[in-house]
């Protein structure tokens, strides 16, 4: 089993020239749309905004990835962050552990305590072995420490086994949240986590050609599920993915408009 830590140093926020614009942003305009940032901080008391923003913007933050070797963890995080931040093979920075010889829950809790990550992403793909008890231990650790977990089936087109892995993820998460919501092929389990299937890069086998699928939905799904400082950190982490912001801005603005309305703002 391989654990990778992606460490992000926030860049800058580039506001739109028109703060009330609702049209998709230009893909060449890197940065988080002003609408999204404004809606994110709107519920915060005015005196607390400076301190609130200083915490996530003024420090680095981590995203933890777990999964067996060669399941596409690096390819997925590179697609999410829209830059090469992780090697696409198990390099020297990867933490490889024989999980049969340690307490998975204790290991995950120690790691989460040390890193305090934005979220944890667990990856599995067709052709790899997934141990149910290990998954339970990871989810338990995340729940205990209030860290959101995204369980992702990578290489979703490789075989029908992808559906079986997704079912295993569902069976694991449902013990912690009995009534999941399903939207755009993402299964949401409240504040605990989500699970879905993705294809991070073009899939080409013989005459079969499939475009990347599910990554944008995963990014938006994690965004919907986070709150406060971790939400802003996630937005800062993915700010370079201009194509995502262009495609998803309408959905994001609708999400935050609903949030503001529910809070009475």
- The pLDDT tens digits of the residues spanning 189-246 come to 999 999 999 999 888 888 888 898 999 999 999 999 998 789 888 988 888 888 888 8
Which contiguous run of DSSP H or E holds residue 66? strand 61-67
Q: What is the rounded average pLDDT of the residues 120-147?
A: 92
Q: What is the rounded average pLDDT of the residues 100-123?
A: 87
In whole angstroms, give the CA distance from residue 159 to residue 166: 12
Question: What pLDDT, on the 0 to 100 scale, is given for residue 123?
Answer: 96
Quick count: other Cβ atoms within 10 Å of Cβ 55?
13
Max avg pLDDT among 34-38, 39-43, 184-188: 184-188
| Average pLDDT score, the chain | 77
Q: Choose between 117 and 86: higher pLDDT.
A: 117
Bridge-based pairing state of the strands 120-124 and 149-153: parallel
Q: What is the rounded average pLDDT of the residues 154-175?
A: 94
pLDDT confidence band for 99 (50 / 70 / 90): low
Contact partners, residue 63, CB within 8 Å, separation at least 6: 5, 6, 8, 77, 117, 118, 119, 120, 121, 237
In whole angstroms, give the CA distance from residue 6 to residue 24: 28
Q: Choose between 17 and 135: higher pLDDT.
A: 135
Question: What pLDDT, on the 0 to 100 scale, is given for residue 148?
Answer: 98
| Residue 125 · residue 153 · CB < 8 Å | yes
Dihedral in degrees, nearest 10, Cα atoms 71, 202, 252, 14? 100
């Amino acid at each position: 089993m391989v654990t990778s830590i992606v460490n992000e140093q926030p860049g800058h926020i580039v506001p739109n020239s028109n703060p009330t614009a609702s049209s998709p942003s230009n893909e060449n305009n890197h940065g988080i749309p002003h609408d999204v940032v404004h809606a994110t901080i709107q519920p915060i008391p005015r005196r607390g905004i400076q301190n609130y923003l200083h915490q996530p913007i003024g420090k680095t933050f981590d995203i933890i990835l777990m999964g067996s070797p060669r399941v596409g963890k690096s390819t997925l995080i590179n697609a999410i962050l829209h830059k090469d931040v992780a090697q696409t093979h198990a390099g020297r920075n990867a933490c490889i552990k024989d999980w049969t010889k340690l307490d998975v829950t204790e290991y995950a809790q120690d790691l989460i305590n040390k890193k305090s990550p934005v979220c944890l992403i667990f990856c599995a793909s067709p052709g790899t072995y997934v141990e149910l008890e290990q998954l339970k231990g990871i989810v338990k650790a995340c729940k205990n420490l209030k860290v959101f977990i995204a369980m992702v089936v990578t290489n979703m087109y490789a075989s029908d086994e992808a559906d079986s892995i997704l079912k295993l993820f569902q069976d694991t998460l449902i013990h912690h949240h009995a009534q999941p919501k399903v939207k755009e092929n993402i299964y949401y389990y409240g504040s605990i986590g989500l699970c879905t299937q993705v294809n991070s890069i073009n899939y080409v086998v013989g005459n079969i050609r499939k475009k990347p699928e599910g990554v944008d939905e995963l990014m938006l799904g994690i965004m919907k599920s986070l709150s406060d400082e971790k939400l802003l950190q996630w937005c800062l982490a993915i700010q370079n993915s201009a194509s995502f912001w262009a495609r998803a801005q309408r959905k994001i603005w609708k999400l935050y408009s609903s949030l503001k309305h529910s809070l009475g703002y």
